[in-house]
Structure 1
Amino acid sequence: MAGSAFARFFRVELAQIARAAVAHRPERLLVRASTGAPGWAAVPWMAFFAPHVTRSMRRGLYVAIFIDATEERIVLALQHGAADALTALGHAEGLAHLRALAAATRAEVRPGHGLSPGPLHLGSTAALPQGYEAGSALWRAWEAAAPDGIAPALQDMLDLYRGIVGPRA
């Protein structure tokens, strides 16, 4: 993975493009991307964090873009962090907890955003992607070959996120 051109592009260059895409926003957002560590991730991701809420995909609410290689699609999701819940509660209880968090978040959002309610399917049976699936409050997917409309959908999702977590800069 260390010498992979794709991993470097995804983690560095694509993350820089994403940072530029959100630089105009009124709130401060951290942008991080990963293809896995130390090996390849079952589901590569890029995430947008409000730093007063979380700085990690391990916990808290954030916006994520997942690469679902199985279905060859890109998924944009309003997401609850999975790793800490799975570690603290165990797999089954952690998934149940994440589903409850996602349902509570969905209840806070007015319908009509063109988003699907969770849970999401990311095409992996690995524990962490199952946590991502359970923790997804709302999502939308595009074919990887034709992600037309993802940029405005990301801005809309970030507006929705800001409305939930507050505008703290």
Structure 2
Amino acid sequence: MTLGYALRRIAEEYPLARLDPPAGHPLAAVIRNGAPDELRRALAGIDGPFLVKGSPGRGTRWAAVPWLAAFDPAVTTSATQGYYLVYLVPADREAVHLSLAQGTVAAIRAHGPGAGAALRASGDVLRHRLADFADRLPERAIRLGCAGALPEGYEAAHILGLSYGLADLGDERRLIADLATGVAAYRALKARGGLQIADRPGL
């Protein structure tokens, strides 16, 4: 298996897999174990250390949007808070987004119905802070194709990244190069103040 193969399998098989319970499902195992193993292997040649997790959902319910994420433990160990690098699979089409993202659940807890607006506002500031990555990670917005607090929160939490069609996932060299760029942006954001928003022009 490769990282691209794992991501493509998730994108292709997830809609049908959701018709069955996730317990014991082979695709759930790919998301929890196989895909994270491939991401760890890819990251080993780039930078580290990272905590890597994949989620097909919890308990007896599939996630609306499955994800595969890399966390810098000095920043966060969870997708609920801080910021992290994540692959998100949209519900309505066969594609994958690579996103440098803000923690969604923490924003929902802090801002309630205003979480989306707060995340988008901070995302605008953070994109400006990472302006030197704009050409290499040009996606300023992503669409996940389903309603709900978490999917809509993931959309709002996106800072910058890339989108792939299924054919793109066959180019492993490109995926690894793009991942390295994502890691560099992650490191740059950490060095430039993380999610701290200063009340000064230019930040």
TM norm structure 2: 0.76
2:140 to 98, 114, 117: 117
Q: Which has the larger radius of gyration?
A: 2
Identity %: 32
Range with greater deviation from structure 2 (58-67 or 26-35):
26-35
Instruction: Give the match for residue 178 of structure 2.
Output: 153
Mapped to 1, the partners of 2:145 and 2:41 lie a distance apart of 30
Is contact 2:137–2:182 with CA below 8 Å preserved after alignment? no
Structure 1: runs of 5+ lacking an equivalent? none
Mapped to 1, the partners of 2:92 and 2:47 lie a distance apart of 36
Q: How many residues align?
A: 164
Instruction: Give the match for residue 28 of structure 1.
Output: 49
2:66 to 11, 33, 44: 44
- The residue type paired with residue 151 of structure 1 is I
How far has the Cα of 1:65 moved from its partner? 0.3
Q: Secondary structure at the match of 2:58?
A: coil
Correspondences of 1:76-91 after superposition (within 5 Å): 76-91=98-113
Task: Name whichever structure is richer in helix by fraction.
Answer: 2
Structure 1 outlier segments of 4+, above 4 Å:
none
Instruction: Give the match for residue 128 of structure 1.
Output: 150
How far has the Cα of 1:146 moved from its partner? 3.4
Structure 2: runs of 5+ lacking an equivalent? 1-21, 192-203
1:3 to 13, 20, 24: 24
- The residue type paired with residue 97 of structure 2 is V
- The residue type paired with residue 165 of structure 2 is E
